[in-house]
Amino acid sequence: MARPSSAGRCLRRLGRGAGRPAEAAGFTYIGLLIAVVILGISLSAVGTVWRTQAQREREQELLFIGREFRTAIAAYYRAGAHQYPQDISDLLEDKRWPEPRHFLRRLYVDPMTGAQDWTILRTDMLGITGIASSSNDEPLKKKGFPLEEAAFEDATCYCDWKFVYVPRFARRRINTAQPSAD
């Protein structure tokens, strides 16, 4: 029997493998589609985690700024005649003295809204006693507040986080006015 020539063997190989490149391309395409779907799902999860982390950071910033405002109002109140500021700019520059005093360095932006749209809290005609965010978003943080911010645990929105200065003597009167639980 005669041996086939080398040219014949090459033709047979080409003939047998003619369908394989198209089949391989189909599997590669499906594999690429699956990889794109997996990548999309993982990027979606990363985006959600990033958004949550960014909101937690804004919450921490809101707590810091709120405490700064409460401290500034307290310092203004104690600085003279037990009087609350009548305008938020009084905390930036207190002109009651020959040399103006500064209780806040700058007027902060509400980190939850990105604007200086604070809700100013006033008590009767006394003046500004505190501030609150104007955001109606629901807070992520629900527990772990210090004692003076314990009311934040029941908050349904950031606007319920009220940073109010209450003088010590007023706190004592509030505590003694409550009936005892006998």
Give me the amino acid identity at 69. Answer: F
Largest CA distance in the chain: 122
Find the range with the poorest average confidence among 6-15, 82-91, 101-110: 6-15
- Tokens, residue 116: 């200086």
pLDDT of residue 176: 47
- Tokens, residue 62: 């809101």
Residue 180 has pLDDT above 80, yes or no: no
Residue 182 has pLDDT above 90, yes or no: no
The mean pLDDT of 139-147, rounded to a whole number, is 91
Q: How far is CA 130 from CA 5, 12, 127, 162, 170, in A?
A: 97, 89, 9, 7, 15
The mean pLDDT of 105-126, rounded to a whole number, is 91
Residue 115 has pLDDT above 90, yes or no: yes
- Which of 60, 88, 85 is closest to 74 using CA atoms? 85
pLDDT tens for each residue of 50-94: 988 999 999 999 999 999 999 999 999 998 778 899 999 999 998
- Which of 170, 166, 174 is closest to 149 using CA atoms? 166
Measure the CA–CA gap between 8 and 101, rounded to whole angstroms.
100
Q: Select the more confidently predicted residue: 14 or 99.
A: 99
pLDDT of residue 123: 85
Average pLDDT of the chain to the nearest whole number: 83
The mean pLDDT of 157-163, rounded to a whole number, is 95
Strand partners, 94: 101
